[in-house]
Chain A
Amino acid sequence: MLCEECGKRPATVHVQKIVNGQKSESHLCQECATSKGELNIFLQPFSVNSLLSAMLGAEAADPRAIAVQKGARCSVCGLTYEDFARIGKLGCGNCYEAFQKPLEGLLRRIHGSDRHVGKVPAKGDQGAAARRHLDDLRAQLAGAIQAEEYEKAATIRDMIRDVEKTMR
Chain B
Amino acid sequence: MLDDILKRSSPDWMDGSGPESDVVISSRIRLARNLKRYPFPHMMTRSSAEPLIAEVKAAVDALNQGGGWGSFEIEHMNDIPALERQVLTEKHLISPQHAQDPAGKAVILRDDEAVSIMVNEEDHLRIQCLFSGLQVQQAYVLANGVDDVLESFLDYAFSAQHGYLTACPTNVGTGMRASVMMHLPGLVATNQAGRVLQAIGKLGVAVRGLYGEGTEAGGNVFQVSNQITLGQAEAEVVNNLLGISGQIIEQERKARMLLVAQAREQLEDRVWRAYGVLRTARVLSSEEALRLWSEVRLGAEAGVIKGLSRKAINELLVVTRPAFLQNLEGREMSQGERDIKRAALVRDRLKTAGL
Residue B34 lies at the interface, judged by CB distance under 8 Å to chain A:
yes
A49 to B167, CA, bound (A): 10
> Shortest Cβ distance from B191 into chain A, in angstroms?
6
B194 touching A13, Cβ below 8 Å: yes
Q: State which residues 29-53 of A face B: CB under 8 Å.
A: 39-40, 42-44, 47-49, 52
Across the interface, do A90 and B216 meet the contact criterion of CB distance under 8 Å? no
Task: Type the 1/0 row for A111-129, where 1 means its CB is closer than 8 Å to any CB of B.
Answer: 1111111111111110110
In the complex, are the beta carbons of B193 and A47 less than 8 A apart? no
Instruction: Determine if B232 is an interface residue (Cβ-Cβ < 8 Å).
Output: yes
Q: Report Cα–Cα, A76/B36, bound state, in Å.
A: 11
Are A43 and B167 touching (Cβ within 8 A)? no
Q: 1/0 contact trace for B5-49 toward A, CB 8 Å?
A: 000000000000000000000000000001010111011000000
A121 with B160: CB separation less than 8 A: no
Do B40 and A118 touch across chains, with their CB atoms under 8 A apart? Answer: no
- Known A-B contacts A10-B191, A116-B160; the reply to A47 vs B213 at CB < 8 A is yes
Contact, CB under 8 Å: A42 / B216 = yes
Say yes or no: A128 contacts B152, CB within 8 Å: no
Q: Does B198 contact A (CB under 8 A)?
A: yes
Chain B residues with Cβ under 8 A from A10's Cβ?
Answer: 191
Interface, chain A (partner B; CB < 8 A)? 10, 12-14, 39-40, 42-44, 47-49, 52, 76-77, 79, 87-93, 96-97, 100, 103, 106-107, 110-125, 127-128, 131-132
Residues of B within 8 A of A (CB): 34, 36, 38-40, 42-43, 122, 144, 148, 151-152, 155-165, 167-170, 172-174, 176, 188, 191, 193-194, 198, 208-209, 213-216, 227-234
Q: List 15 A-B contacts (CB under 8 A).
A: A14-B194, A42-B208, A42-B215, A48-B213, A52-B170, A90-B167, A92-B39, A93-B36, A100-B161, A116-B162, A116-B174, A116-B230, A116-B231, A119-B144, A122-B148
